[in-house]
């Protein structure tokens, strides 16, 4: 439940701090006082409305929610701050608007006029499967079997579609793969070959310059024995000099060995080979990657060559799984029909209180989807949803929500209702109040009320007023509620009869 709400500087509100109880919370007040502004600021804090508030903060208590990422064990805080841009926080950690919405969906619900999402077939089927799992043995097993078959069928279909697409251009794909393989095979690169040839090329290019330098060192090397003699006469150890001269001679000999090795080498062919390998490196990044690319293309070519055989197997499996999923889907439809009966009976109980009759919930067949072969359709007195009046639609949706709450909620849901009793008769408004009171056992409900019947049933009643350009909100005492409900009955000029009726309504709600 929302335990505390704090607001700073949003349109006509300067500062608001409210503490809430569980149950039904009502906001009332004259037109233009700022009820919708306040309502939207609270909904916006959960990320479901685009508002530019300087600061809003909501404390949630007893939500039975745990989240390690945001250090949530039970109570937590949601905050919104707007400076140059709007930022959202969950337990003082930054959270994106989309992630906040996703997080809030588990316990927060906002219903507004003509929002059809609660009646969308996919959402209803999800609830029917949940309800069926609670009520019928074997339902969960059937549903799991369907989902397994659907996943297999979807994968097979995806592979088949790729094969069909590839078949349209199969020869071109084969030709391209062969071309790529042949190009690398013709060069036949080996790891390290390019580096070796490059070194030989560098040796050849520097051969003349090195030989000239080596020739100039010959007179010195021919007389190194004299330096050794001189060191010996000086009784100095000449081993360091001898070792150095030996290393010099070894390096010179290595060079001549390389020269001898390339004497018979065809320089032009070597340069051509280096260029071929260099081109491969430029195209594929390295010789290793070129060799790996060849393997990939060979695998693709093998797959193309086997595509007819693979297609035959996949088509056989697709037919097999289609028949199996059709049987399981038909069984699932039968179970969902039973779940619909339960939902319809539960809704009719509340619809009776809401003065609505002839609810129709039917399961019609459709093309296979992840939800099976079923589509759920609602009607009221044989009238489709989109043709219902706003009052009828709101009451029907309220009956659905209340019926679902019996199975889905455990005293931790938060529900915001927009204009729930607007443009209703006293009788209809009283029916709304009765159902909302029942629903408030499982939800903490926030609603703007236009009628005395709903306002009188509130567990908390807040009055929104505007003085000059500034709106303010405060919780009403019992005596103040009598005055406010009387105003709702008779207008600004409160009559004795209105006061008496207001007290009667309040006594009934106790």
pLDDT one-digit tens code per residue, 319-364: 999 999 999 999 999 999 999 999 999 999 999 989 999 999 999 9
462 versus 243: which is more confidently predicted? 462
Whether 100 and 193 map to the same domain: the answer is no
* Nearest Cα to Cα of residue 435 among 453, 450, 410, 419: 453
Total number of domains in the chain = 2
Tens-place pLDDT, residues 176-190: 888 989 988 888 888
Contacts (Cβ under 8 Å, ≥6 apart) of 423? 390, 391
What's 456's domain CATH number? Answer: 3.40.50.300
Q: Assign residue 359 a region: left if phi > 0, alpha if psi is -120 to 50, beta otherwise? A: beta
Q: Which of 16-20, 355-359, 440-444 has the lowest mean pLDDT?
A: 440-444
What is the C-alpha to C-alpha distance for residues 418 and 112, in angstroms, rounded to an integer? 5
Where do runs of H (alpha helix) occur along 169-266?
170-187, 193-222, 224-233, 239-261
Say if CB 311 and CB 157 are below 8 A apart. no
The pTM of the full predicted model, rounded to 2 decimals, is 0.64
Is 166 inside a domain boundary?
no
Please check whether residue 316 lies inside any domain of the structure: no
Assigned domain for 343 exists: no
Using CA atoms, how far apart are residues 87 and 81, in angstroms rounded to an integer?
5
In whole angstroms, give the CA distance from residue 385 to residue 380: 7
Q: Is residue 380 part of a domain?
A: no
Could you tell me if residue 374 is inside a domain? no
Give CA–CA dist 162/255, Å, rounded: 59
Hey, what are 464's tokens? 């929104």
Q: Which of 1-5, 72-76, 159-163, 395-399 tops mean pLDDT?
A: 1-5
Domain boundary among 245, 277, 305: 305
**Domain of 72?**
1-107+412-510
pLDDT at 99 over 80: yes
Do residues 11 and 94 both lie within one domain?
yes
**Residue where one domain finishes, among candidates 271, 305, 339:** 305
Per the domain annotation, does 267 fall within a domain? yes
Place 225 in a pLDDT band, splitting at 50, 70 and 90: confident
For residue 398, tell me if it sits in a domain.
Answer: no
Choose one of 250, 279, 305: the last residue of a domain: 305
Query: Which of 21-25, 43-47, 113-117, 333-337 shows the lowest mean pLDDT across its residues?
Result: 113-117
Question: The tokens of 91 are what?
Answer: 């337990």
Q: Are residues 187 and 292 in the same domain?
A: yes
Q: Is residue 350 part of a domain?
A: no
* β-strand pairing of 24-28 with 443-448: parallel
pLDDT at residue 5 greater than cutoff 80: yes
Q: Which two tokens stand for residue 459?
A: 């567990």
């Amino acid at each position: 439940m929302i335990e505390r709400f704090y607001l700073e500087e949003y349109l006509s509100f300067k500062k608001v701090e409210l503490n809430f109880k569980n149950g039904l919370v009502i906001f009332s007040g004259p037109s233009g006082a700022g009820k919708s502004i306040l309502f939207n600021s609270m909904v916006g804090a959960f990320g479901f409305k685009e508002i530019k508030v300087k600061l809003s903060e909501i404390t949630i208590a007893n939500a039975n929610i745990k989240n390690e990422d945001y250090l949530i064990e039970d109570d937590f805080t949601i905050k919104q701050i707007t400076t140059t841009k709007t930022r959202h926080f969950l337990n003082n950690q930054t959270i994106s608007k989309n992630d906040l919405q996703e997080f809030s969906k588990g316990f927060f619900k906002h219903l507004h006029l003509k929002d059809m999402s609660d009646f969308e077939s996919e959402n209803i089927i999800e609830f029917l499967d949940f309800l069926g799992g609670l009520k019928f043995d074997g339902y969960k097993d059937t549903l799991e079997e369907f989902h397994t078959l659907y996943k297999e069928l979807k994968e097979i279909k995806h592979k088949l579609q790729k094969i069909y697409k590839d078949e349209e251009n199969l020869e071109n794909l084969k030709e391209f793969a062969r071309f790529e393989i042949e190009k690398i095979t013709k060069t036949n690169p080996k790891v390290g070959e390019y580096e070796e040839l490059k070194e030989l090329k560098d040796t050849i290019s520097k051969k003349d310059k090195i030989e000239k330098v080596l020739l100039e060192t010959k007179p010195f090397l021919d007389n190194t024995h004299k330096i050794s003699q001189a060191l010996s006469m000086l009784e100095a150890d000449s081993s360091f000099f001898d070792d150095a001269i030996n290393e010099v001679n070894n390096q010179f000999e290595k060079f001549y060995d390389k020269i001898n090795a390339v004497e018979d080498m065809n320089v032009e062919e070597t340069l051509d080979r280096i260029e071929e390998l260099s081109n491969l490196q430029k195209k594929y990044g390295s010789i290793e990657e070129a060799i790996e690319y060849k393997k990939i293309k060979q695998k693709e070519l093998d797959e193309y060559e086997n595509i007819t055989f693979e297609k035959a197997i996949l088509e056989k499996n697709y037919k097999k799984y289609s028949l199996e999923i059709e049987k399981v889907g038909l069984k699932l439809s039968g179970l969902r029909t039973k779940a619909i009966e339960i939902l319809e009976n539960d809704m009719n109980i509340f619809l009776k209180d809401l003065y609505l009759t002839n609810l129709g919930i039917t399961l019609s067949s459709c093309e296979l989807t992840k939800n099976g072969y079923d589509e759920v359709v609602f009607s009221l007195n044989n009238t489709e949803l989109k043709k219902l009046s706003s009052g009828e639609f709101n009451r029907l949706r309220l009956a659905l929500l209340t019926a679902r709450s019996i199975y889905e909620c455990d005293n931790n849901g938060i529900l915001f209702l927009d204009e729930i009793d607007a443009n209703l008769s006293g009788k209809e408004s009283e029916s709304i109040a009765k159902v909302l009171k029942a629903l408030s056992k499982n939800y903490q409900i926030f609603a703007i009320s236009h009628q005395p019947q709903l306002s009188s049933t509130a567990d908390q009643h807040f009055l929104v007023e505007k003085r000059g350009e500034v709106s303010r909100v405060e919780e009403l005492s019992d005596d103040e509620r009598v005055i406010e409900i009387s105003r709702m009955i008779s207008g600004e000029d409160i009559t004795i009869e209105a006061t008496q009726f207001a007290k009667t309504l309040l006594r009934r709600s106790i």
